[in-house]
Structure 1
Amino acid sequence: MRITILLLSLISILTGAKTFAQHNYWQQQLSYEINVALDDKENELTGKMSLQYRNNSPDTLYYLWFHVWPNAFKNDRTAFSEERLRNGRTDFYFSKEKDRGYINQLDFRAENESLETEDDSVNIDVIKVILAAPLVPGEEVILKTPFHVKLPYTFSGSGHNKTQSYLASNWYPKVAVYDENGWHPSPYLEMISPYEEFADFKVSITLPRNYVVAATGDLEKADEIKWLKGRTKAPEREKLPVKKNKNSFGKPKVVYKEIASDPETKTINYSAKNSTSFVFAADKNFIVKYEEITVNANTVTVWAFYNTKKFCCDELSGFTAFLKAIRNAERTLPPLPYKNISLVEIKTGGNPFVFSGLIAEDGHHLTLPASHLLNRMFVGRLINFNEKDEPWLSLGLNEYLNRRSGEAFGERHHWNYELKTINDNLLNKAILQNQDQALNTGFDQLTTKNKKLVHAIKGAAWFARMRSLLSPVEFDNILSGFLNDRTLKHGTSNDLKLAFATTDNSDADVLISSIGKTGSLDSTVRKSKRRFELFYQPEKWDSVPKTYIAPSIGYNTSDGLMAGLMVHNYSLPFERFRYFVSPLYGLRSGEINGLADLGYAVYPGRKISSVRFGVGFAKFSSQSAKDSTGKRINAGFMKFTPSVRLGFRNSSVLSLVDKWLEWKTFIIGETGFNYSEGSDGQYYPSKSDIQYRYLNQLTFNITDTRILYPYDASLQVQQSSDFYRINLNAQYFFNYASGGGLDIRLFAAKFGYIGERSVAKEFRTYAFQPKLTAVRGNEDYTYSNYFIGRDQSSGLPSQQIMMRDGGLKIRTDLFQDLQGRSDNWVSSVNLSTSLPASVFPEQVPLKIFFDIGTYAGAWEQNSDVARFMYVGGLQLSLFNKILNIYAPVFYSKTFRDNLKTVPEENKFLRKISFSLDIHRLSARKSRFLNILM
């Protein structure tokens, strides 16, 4: 992914007409001098650092905390690695040793006296340096240390890629912030900007002379500046012969020979004032473009370091858009105190300096993201907030300013309007479900969903609400004064409260107090008239309740093609009462069929997070035939499913575990065929009367959707008039470091009779008894799975199975005794593993499966079947595992011997089966619709 990085030079402190600072505000004074050399053969940095640290606090300091953040990439047990896993990324966790990074060779000294260091008890990227003597208020100490950094592959913010392109951020030992609340040591985290001290920098970088370097601050070498200004094109590179990848069907990419590093080196010097960090990027292929512009009477040189022509040299480029955004920045931001701004196009991961939306489809789309970048520069770099303790202040203010920028450029015509509306609706959904958290909640205490909602979206809503309570002019004056006063300082919510305390608006005082409370920021109740819309149009998401109407189709062998309508309100804004109704007309059967689901949810909070009352309906044909008159008749099922589901709240805010308990009753009416002899001596069917039955089902389910080793387990109890059944189903995914993994499924079932066992009960409960082999359509006794031909005994539809019970994937339709059916117990293990990409192309999702199981009958005395039965073969999973095709290759002797007796059944194609797991499209498991549930 190509993104842009901002490298800035701070040259002055902004002043405002009105300030709201704390009277006794103080800030530590730091000055770094760093000499560093890049070894692009080993991807290493070697250098020396000198830190002058002045204690402006009223406290005596006995030690300094340092961030040694290159160690965040040292192993898979760091806070960064854990955060990546929580965010669904395994690339770093499974990375190779050569692609990881670290910092070592540290030797802190003061006046040439070696200082003792202590490792943090939890985080290896944080250390404590014990001072040789107490550092009293008003005094300073100079610490020096050598350092060596093994740069990681560019996972997040700092590192290298395969083309010798380097980005160095957080690469040197950084002293942590000490403020009125004490020390703030923190491990490196990707999702929040670091809380850092402002400092002056003098940095010299030594590297091969043909590297182009972009860095924080002002370049102090005139001949290097002249060279950069003349870098109007990239050096020529030799095109290498294209090699076809035998494991890929894609068109081979054009590959160019890498430019050799110049054996001669150069040393370039930079200086920066009042910066929170020093960042540099180096690449031998960069092209450079620059332009001087005047903003608020200040002359600023804007540089672009890029690889692609689109980034720079046409009207749709990121550079052009950014220039426009800077010129418009005075509308929403104080004057920018930069002498140089550099935009760098580089392949990297996310970090606080990264902005990834600058290149878009048209000029209007570009201007808004560029203004977002400027806002992020200001609210994070020029005013440094503690995002770990008060994430809402920085990210909420930034999001608010982004929305103001959108208004300035006509946001209703921009994608950001839809995104804003979606986010606002998701926040309202969280509030309705009692899942939101107070604005002043620290980052570590936010739930995974609220990390994306509370600190940014609810924070922006707070600022917007405050503006609506005050006059726009008064609000803008107060906010402008706050931004001016806090520039090049640390900012807190207390500073913001002091700023707005100047107003006499009582409603504003209530809003200020709401920072520590959950719930809506606006108590005004607004009702909107429901709107009916054709089709599903997410681009029209807004706060108006909607009912969508769209055509729907379906198919099965008995009803044929079905056509009808789909009516639902599964959209945003979220509603407590949700419905889905889809009547369908069978073009072959002439039957009116369909599906429906209605539910109402309440959200008590505390241990019970939700209670949903629902009822479902389904009606379809499952058999068809012609009667004695030649007329087509149909038989099938109809079911009602009232239910109550309880969702349980997790004890840990970081947990992705979903636990629920559900009671569901299946009330099912079934029709079939009665056969009688006609006048011609043939037997003809007639439709039987509808027969009703019920089944009560209690299910406890626990699911952990974590990216590493996710699992799902359920314990289910079913009961009907003649029997009870207990099912245990557990699924686990074991990730492979190279990609893919092993699916493990464990199944066990206990069956028993209610009342005395009898031959009649055995016959009536035959289809309900668990078995080893996979289930066919006529054994889906709750009608919960989609089948093309539910009662078909020949042709392609008859080869469909569903993954329930033992799940041994071999067809033994003609051999009832081979199915491992039991009216006592059944147990099995199902394994499925992906194959290495080096062996099979990624476009061919081929797997190997192996199933093994046993059942009570195999352990009885005088049993003539093996105690354990197995089958293995090839599995092809298509369309995100919705369609799975199974081809048995080897299996138990019992299966093999019996299949040989019927040659037609023993053919390879005849033994192939397939499953259609339509449940994978359900709203709960769809990544897109998950936001709606």
Structure 2
Amino acid sequence: MKKLLASCWLAFLPLALSAQSTSPGSYWQQEVNYSIDVTLDDRHHTLTAQEEIQYTNNSPDQLTFIWFHLWPNAYRDNTTAFAKQQLRNGSRKFQFAPQDQRGFIDQLDFKVNGQPATLSFDPEHADMAKLALPQPLAPGGKITITTPFRVKIPASFSRFGHVEQSYQITQWYPKPAVYDSQGWHPMPYLDQGEFYSEFGSFDVRITLPANYTVGATGVLQNAEEQARLTQLATATAAKKAEDYSKDLTFPSSASETKTLRYVQDRVHDFAWFADKRFNVLKSAVTLPSGKQVDTWVMFLNKDVAKWIKGLQDVNDAVTYYSQWVGEYPYTAATAVDGALSAGSGMEYPMVTVTMPSAIVHEVGHNWFYGILASNERAYPWLDEGVNSYIENRVAERDNPNAGMFESVLTSGKASTILGVEGLNATALNQVPYQASASRGLDQAVSGPSAAEYGKINYGIIVYTKTASLLKYLAGYLGQEKFDAAMRAYYQRWQFKHPAPADMQTAFEESTGQQLDWFFENMLQNTTRYNAAVGDIQVTNDQVKVLVRNDSPAPFAVPVATLNAQGEVIETQWTPVFGNGEEDEETQLDFRREGVAAVVIDPAYLTPQLNRRDDKLKLEGSLPRLEPLRFRPLVSVERWDRAAINWAPVLGANTSDKLMLGAAFYSSPLVPKRLSYLAMPMYSFNRNELNGIGTLNLNILPKETARQLITGVTVQRFERYVKVEPSLTLTLPKSAYNAPSTWSNLLTLPCATRILM
């Protein structure tokens, strides 16, 4: 799933201004094969279905019961885990929804090998139930489980739902939970938090009015429907973007029905999307092996130009993920326009519902979620974060400015105002993480489950921080070695359930390097990393650079020499060094010719919060001082210049009347350890200078508290001076899941007024 992150970092501005590895030889997993007949009633928004499951116990354990997910029940009432999470994350839409907009699953009647079986609902979660088996299922044994079921399709509150007669049928059928070496994994449905499912095959027959167009998991078996889709695609391809009408009304449903059959093996879910208004486009990709993959987009009469381009995005995703990760194993990939309410897109095997801007990301999930089927609820970074890294590479292959801040980087005026001209997308992609970490809000990439992240942090940490750290690792290893390791990971764990330690093992074996400093430290902790140029020794033909690791954990950094114009001459990586011990410094030797300065991390790959000590000039009385510039509103810290932010200020009170002035302050996006505000204001009534001055010390304790800010504010108005020291303490984890604010603050002010 793709979260909308483009404006996440702006949320900081108002605040500022006010597992163990598994050996493949011992690995096993269950097999679950489905046969489902389902009928859509688009007048009452219901599904009626019959399901048959062939369950194979490949575990060494005897099973006496099977946990089932009945996720439509997440929409039943306000007591479900989904409803509570929605409220905690600040959404009241479902909380006050009328009953006719809610959903459920009922009319269940389970039988195992033809014998009635008892289903016991979990007392806390209506969308989880335990099926007691009439006889124990021995290792290697198989059983057939059958049940009818009916589903009331909810309105579009999350992934599963409908908007009038546009249907997103996902997480809709009774589904066994995963049983693996750690036991059962039953989980309630959540909006923030995804899934973990067993691989198998699907044979699904969908009956619905004949004028619906469907995008689904699997291979369509109906020749006449294949011909109809091809005909629709031909007609759509003949149109230009301006030829489409703006009409989004629903045509009447046909009186006759059709039954569409889809089959697919080696997948762990089945989703389908139905709408009578879909336009259809079709293309194909030929992979290096010669295999052809059909690609489709299905979309409405809106954002037409983006969807026409979207077909190429599907092609690009299939092409480059196959090249960098591993060959796409299925015969088709489809992107569908839909009324999704959970982020900007959601992935399912072979099909995704998405906004056009998220197509590459969502199609990419066929690899990270679909084929490498990790436990998304426990390890969300293994699919969302790794996928985001590859998605960024696809976007950046011919556009270095691609990403969430592309509009800023490509706008000459905006980039100059914000002081980001000349920066790449990598530098700006670090800002959300830096803004979070500098406020003590950072969370580890690997460790917290999906539900343990706050709503904003889920996007910042799981998606952007993970992608940035993987790009850093690729820089350290070299792109070829990184890609080879990723392909080795894919080859070993495709169609299985890898954990983080499995990815680490694959990377270490492929590269021949110990990478615990990255996988077990950098990903699993919230260490605040910092490196600095300690000293430079210059000889006739060499520049010897002493690099200092000021962090409590080891890491490596790239170091470059620059010419007088600030251009990179030579780049070297340090070894992994540091740990608060004797090896906290390392030396690199560079060629002397043309060198004017040395800089750490010129391309902004490392997860550092402080860039001010990254550069050192070879000559000059102030070798660390960079040109100072005034920037309106906000600025991004960079190693090649210093900035003071400013903004015009207009104020008034009953005594001083109208006052005009300016505020000068340190960057509010990423607060430094010492921050300041100087806001002089001129009173035209008294012809006097008034204003406010603030100096704050930002302390980020390792334990006991999330953030401690101690400071003093001095104000002068109406010929009074007010001096106000303050101490602001934010308790640990108090902000991660707050619905409307990031801070639960304990503020202890004291003030003194001095008559002038």
Counterpart for residue 195 of structure 2: 194
Between the two proteins, the alignment pairs up a number of residues equal to: 614
User: Superposed, which structure 2 residues align to 1:322-721 within 5 Å?
Assistant: 322-350=314-342, 352-353=346-347, 358-359=355-356, 369-412=358-401, 414-416=403-405, 421=427, 424-428=430-434, 430-431=436-437, 435-438=441-444, 439-447=446-454, 450-502=457-509, 508-514=515-521, 515-520=523-528, 524-525=549-550, 527-528=613-614, 532-536=628-632, 546-556=643-653, 558-621=655-718, 636-649=719-732, 654=737, 658-670=743-755, 690=756
- Report if aligned partners of 2:665, 2:677 keep a CA contact under 8 Å in 1: yes
- Report if aligned partners of 1:608, 1:648 keep a CA contact under 8 Å in 2: yes
Counterpart for residue 929 of structure 1: none
Task: Please tell me the residue identity of whatever aligns with 1:343.
Answer: A
Distance in 2 separating the partners of 1:306 and 1:263: 24
Counterpart for residue 130 of structure 2: 128
Larger Rg computed on CA atoms? 1
Distance in 1 separating the partners of 2:52 and 2:99: 30
Does 1 or 2 have the higher relative contact order (CA < 8 Å, sep 6+)?
Answer: 2
1:94 to 2:96 alignment = yes
Counterpart for residue 251 of structure 2: 259
Counterpart for residue 577 of structure 2: none
Task: Please tell me the residue identity of whatever aligns with 2:347.
Answer: F
User: Superposed, which structure 2 residues align to 1:16-35 within 5 Å?
Assistant: 22-35=24-37
User: Superposed, which structure 2 residues align to 1:793-812 within 5 Å?
Assistant: none
CA deviation string 1:838-878 (max 9, x = no partner): xxxxxxxxxxxxxxxxxxxxxxxxxxxxxxxxxxxxxxxxx
Instruction: Identify which range, 596-605 or 166-175, moves more after superposition.
Output: 596-605
Task: Please tell me the residue identity of whatever aligns with 1:303.
Answer: W
Relative to structure 1, the CA distance from residue 420 to residue 347 in structure 2 (aligned partners, 3 Å threshold; closer, same or farther) is: farther
Distance in 2 separating the partners of 1:329 and 1:391: 19
Distance in 2 separating the partners of 1:256 and 1:493: 45
Distance in 1 separating the partners of 2:732 and 2:38: 51
Counterpart for residue 301 of structure 1: 294
Instruction: Identify which range, 462-471 or 99-108, moves more after superposition.
Output: 462-471
Task: Please tell me the residue identity of whatever aligns with 2:71.
Answer: W
Specify the SS of the correspondent of 1:404: helix
Specify the SS of the correspondent of 2:487: helix
Distance in 2 separating the partners of 1:143 and 1:185: 18
Deviation at residue 461 of structure 1 after TM alignment: 4.3
Specify the SS of the correspondent of 1:512: helix
Relative to structure 1, the CA distance from residue 663 to residue 227 in structure 2 (aligned partners, 3 Å threshold; closer, same or farther) is: closer
Deviation at residue 330 of structure 1 after TM alignment: 4.1
CA deviation string 1:590-639 (max 9, x = no partner): 21122222111223343333332211122234xxxxxxxxxxxxxx4332
Task: Please tell me the residue identity of whatever aligns with 2:127.
Answer: D
Relative to structure 1, the CA distance from residue 444 to residue 105 in structure 2 (aligned partners, 3 Å threshold; closer, same or farther) is: same
CA deviation string 1:873-923 (max 9, x = no partner): xxxxxxxxxxxxxxxxxxxxxxxxxxxxxxxxxxxxxxxxxxxxxxxxxxx
Deviation at residue 556 of structure 1 after TM alignment: 4.4
- Report if aligned partners of 2:29, 2:58 keep a CA contact under 8 Å in 1: yes
1:280 to 2:272 alignment = yes
- Report if aligned partners of 1:103, 1:148 keep a CA contact under 8 Å in 2: yes
Counterpart for residue 185 of structure 1: 186
Distance in 1 separating the partners of 2:638 and 2:392: 16
- Report if aligned partners of 1:228, 1:288 keep a CA contact under 8 Å in 2: yes
Distance in 2 separating the partners of 1:374 and 1:521: 34
Distance in 1 separating the partners of 2:449 and 2:404: 30
Specify the SS of the correspondent of 1:337: coil
CA deviation string 1:285-304 (max 9, x = no partner): 11222123323322111122
Relative to structure 1, the CA distance from residue 603 to residue 258 in structure 2 (aligned partners, 3 Å threshold; closer, same or farther) is: closer
Task: Please tell me the residue identity of whatever aligns with 2:271.
Answer: V
Specify the SS of the correspondent of 1:300: strand
Specify the SS of the correspondent of 2:232: coil
Specify the SS of the correspondent of 2:34: strand
* Counterpart pick for 1:271 among 263, 268, 274: 263
Deviation at residue 549 of structure 1 after TM alignment: 2.8
Task: Please tell me the residue identity of whatever aligns with 2:730.
Answer: G
Distance in 2 separating the partners of 1:120 and 1:46: 24
Instruction: Identify which range, 440-449 or 280-289, moves more after superposition.
Output: 440-449
Relative to structure 1, the CA distance from residue 573 to residue 331 in structure 2 (aligned partners, 3 Å threshold; closer, same or farther) is: farther
Counterpart for residue 833 of structure 1: none
Deviation at residue 538 of structure 1 after TM alignment: 5.4
Distance in 2 separating the partners of 1:566 and 1:488: 58
Relative to structure 1, the CA distance from residue 444 to residue 358 in structure 2 (aligned partners, 3 Å threshold; closer, same or farther) is: closer
TM-score of the aligned structures, taking structure 1 as reference length: 0.61
Counterpart for residue 52 of structure 1: 54
Deviation at residue 394 of structure 1 after TM alignment: 2.4
Distance in 1 separating the partners of 2:33 and 2:58: 14
Task: Please tell me the residue identity of whatever aligns with 1:353.
Answer: E
Distance in 2 separating the partners of 1:484 and 1:507: 21
What is the percent sequence identity of the aligned residues? Answer: 29
Counterpart for residue 67 of structure 2: 65
Specify the SS of the correspondent of 1:382: coil
- Report if aligned partners of 1:542, 1:572 keep a CA contact under 8 Å in 2: no
Distance in 2 separating the partners of 1:304 and 1:448: 30
Relative to structure 1, the CA distance from residue 483 to residue 257 in structure 2 (aligned partners, 3 Å threshold; closer, same or farther) is: closer
* Counterpart pick for 2:45 among 35, 43, 46: 43
Task: Please tell me the residue identity of whatever aligns with 2:701.
Answer: P
* Structure 2 unaligned residues grouped into runs of 5+: 5-20, 237-245, 409-424, 532-548, 551-610, 615-624
Counterpart for residue 208 of structure 1: 209
TM-score of the aligned structures, taking structure 2 as reference length: 0.74
